[in-house]
Amino acid sequence: MNPVIRLNEVTAGYERGKPVIRKINLLVEDGDFLAVIGPNGGGKTTLLNVMLGLLEPWEGTVEILGTSPKYVRGKVGYVPQVIPGKSFPITVMDVVLMGRLIHAGIPGRFTKKDREIAVEKLNLLGIANLAQADMNLLSGGQKQRVLIARALAGDPRILLLDEPVASVDSTTQESFYNLLVELNHRMTIIMVTHDVGAISAHVKNIACINGTLTGHGAGISGESVSRTYGCPFELISHGPVPHRVLGGKHSREED
Amino acid sequence: MEILSYAFMQKALIVSVLASIAAGTIGTLVNVNRMSSLAGSIAHASFGGLGLAYILGLNPLVGATIFAVLASLVIGAISGRSAMKTETAMAAVWATGMAVGLVLIKISGTYAADLMSWLFGSILAVNTNDIIYAVLLNLLVISVITILYKEFLAVAYDHRFAMLQGVPVGLVRTIFLVLTALTAVLLMRITGLIMVIAMLSIPPAIAEMFTTSLRKMMVLASILSAVFSVGGLFLAYALDLPPGSVVILLAAACYAAALLVERLRSHWV
């Protein structure tokens, strides 16, 4: 048992009196590949923000690698959603170098080593030829690879991805999941997604979030989960993947 | 060229070119941070500072600078919270500054023609103080942007990621807001505070269409800004029209042409 992420009774939200997630308990083991699924508004992104340290929990504690998220900046790689159509005058190389900011120091300049590492990560993702390309001219799948290269540039121990397949086609998705499985040999991966079709073949664990914690483990039947929490039961009832349920406002029914 | 022999024209040209460097650089950051209305708000709020300067007998440039910086800090303090509050804060600061200015000016009993020059620009009336202000501002803007370039880029592109990389996002934003305020005050001398927003947004908008990095966009926006303000100055002289307005009209015409070029280009490629 070697948890890299430990959430204890975490309640958080943005508006006073309206918590988005309530009393969440979550343990993520080193080397895990966890998919966090759940309906829109169920708290997937809020959970991610709490784990990243971008949102302070109102109650409860968050430990990443045994300490507060603030002290492990750079050890957690973050891959945001690709926003289609967003234009910005920037090259691929400049984007990837952002993953070296914490190493370069502030202020300061990126060194030759920073650039070498950036190229190395682009190579790993098979897009080194795009290093000097205009980010705006890339396809959704290519942009996503650039953002992963950026997250990897700091050699993180944990990789957090927010809706990574939202703007790529299905062929790209398959190679993308294979890439994550490959990366999972070296780091813990947590992926927030509403794409439930493909994940069961690739991930090691699934957590379903919709508000508060109701239970976890394989003992919950898929159909009742679906009915009660709005989680996709096809995945849970058919999949061999162990899952946890982090949510639901009707916990009494479950008991 | 006979007009170049006039001292007022020489000063006007020097200030125009100097202001273009700051305007192109800061305007680029305003553009990529999608904060044009913020720049407009700061410029209008500095009107309050003019009123204050008239009452206290200060140099108007000093009064405008104080109010512009205050406005940028107020907006910065409120805007960290939510997008909706930012909108409201900008509108409130915009109007409050104008109202304070009008009240103070009424009390001070200043002749109204002087005000027109701040509202609509008075590039032909710039003095040595304005040139010194422009030189100092450029030194400040260029050194800050050089030192914090990668931080400005990261915050504008993806502030969440920048935060995760330990970048003090709030501080970087505040520095940007203060620089915007100082630049807006200088631009007021050329175009007037009502049209500052155009000088901070049109040249960078054109530059964005033809560049692939923030640095190149800053350089091109500065060059375009200089072309518009110097070109506009000569054109205004030749046509006997108000220089500030001609500068803006020239910029707007070029923007329309650039949009057309881009449309055609994307159509054919």
Assign A25 to helix, strand or coil: strand
Q: Which residues of B touch A (CB under 8 A)?
A: 32, 147-148, 150-151, 153-154, 156-158, 160-168, 208, 211-214, 216-217
The rounded distance, in Å, linking the Cα atoms of A88 and A134 is: 9
Asked if the Cβ–Cβ distance from B157 to A109 is below 8 Å, we say: no
Helix (H, G, I), strand (E, B) or coil at A87: coil
Query: Which residues are CB-neighbours of A120 under 8 A, at least 6 positions away?
Result: none
What's the confidence (pLDDT) of residue A172?
76
Range B157-168 average pLDDT: 92
Distance from CA of A90 to the nearest CA of B (A): 5
Residue B152 C-alpha, separation from nearest chain A C-alpha, in angstroms: 11
Is the pLDDT confidence value at B260 over 80?
yes
Mean pLDDT computed over B143-162? 94
Residue of A nearest to B212 (CA): A89
pTM of the model: 0.86
Alpha-carbon torsion A146, A147, A153, A159, what sign?
negative
pLDDT beyond 80 at A240? no
Residue A253, pLDDT score: 33
Distance to chain B for A176, nearest Cα, Å: 21
CA A189/CA B86 separation, integer angstroms: 36
CATH number of the domain to which B181 belongs: 1.10.3470.10
How big is chain A by its Cα radius of gyration, in Å? 19
**B225-235 pLDDT per residue, tens:** 999 999 999 99
pLDDT at A179 over 70: yes
pLDDT at A198: 59
Task: Say yes or no for a CB contact (<8 Å) between A91 and B208.
Answer: no
Shortest alpha-carbon distance between residue A206 and chain B (Å):
25
Greater confidence, A221 or B183?
B183
Sheet containing A59-64: give its strands across: A18-29, A3-15, A59-64
Query: Helix (H) and strand (E) counts for chain A?
Result: 9, 10
H helical segments located in B124-168: 128-147, 149-157, 159-164
- Tell me which chain B residues have a C-beta less than 8 angstroms from the C-beta of A89: 32, 208, 211-214, 216-217
Look at B213 and A80 and tell me if their CB atoms are within 8 Å.
Answer: no
Residue A133 in contact with residue A125, Cβ under 8 Å?
A: no
Higher-pLDDT residue of A175, A122: A122
Phi and psi based region of residue A209 (left: phi greater than 0; alpha: psi -120 to 50; beta: remaining)? beta
- Which pLDDT band holds residue A196 (cuts at 50, 70, 90)? low
In the predicted structure, residue A120 carries a pLDDT above the cut 90: yes
Chain A partners of B164 at a C-beta cutoff of 8 Å? 52-54, 73-74, 76, 78
CA angle A53, A55, A60 (to 5 degrees): 85
A interface with B, Cβ–Cβ below 8 Å: 52-54, 73-74, 76, 78, 80, 87-91, 94-95, 97-99, 101-102, 104, 106-107, 109-110, 134, 150, 154
Q: Which residue of A has its CA nearest to B32?
A: A88
Give me the pLDDT at residue A243, please. 60
Contacts of A78 in chain B (CB under 8 A): 160-161, 164
Q: What pLDDT, in 10s, does the model give residues A197-229?
A: 656 677 888 888 876 544 343 333 444 344 434
Which pLDDT score is estimated for A64?
Answer: 93
| pLDDT tens track for A27-52 | 888 989 888 888 777 888 889 999 99
Our count of domains for chain B comes to 1
CA-based nearest distance B227→chain A, Å: 22
Query: Would you call A110 and B156 a contact, using CB atoms and an 8 Å cutoff?
Result: no
DSSP B2: G
Q: What is the ipTM of this complex?
A: 0.85
Q: Which domain holds residue B12?
A: 2-268
| Mean pLDDT, all residues of chain A | 79
Query: Binning pLDDT at 50, 70 and 90, where does residue A148 land?
Result: very high
B256 burial level (CB within 10 Å; 0-12, 13-18, 19+): exposed
Best of B144, B165, B171, B219 to substitute, by most chain A Cβ atoms within 10 angstroms, is: B165
Binary contact (B32, A89; C-beta < 8 A): yes
For A84, the enclosing helix (H) or strand (E) is: none
Quick one: pLDDT band at residue A115, thresholds 50, 70, 90? very high
CB contact under 8 A, A90 and B157: yes
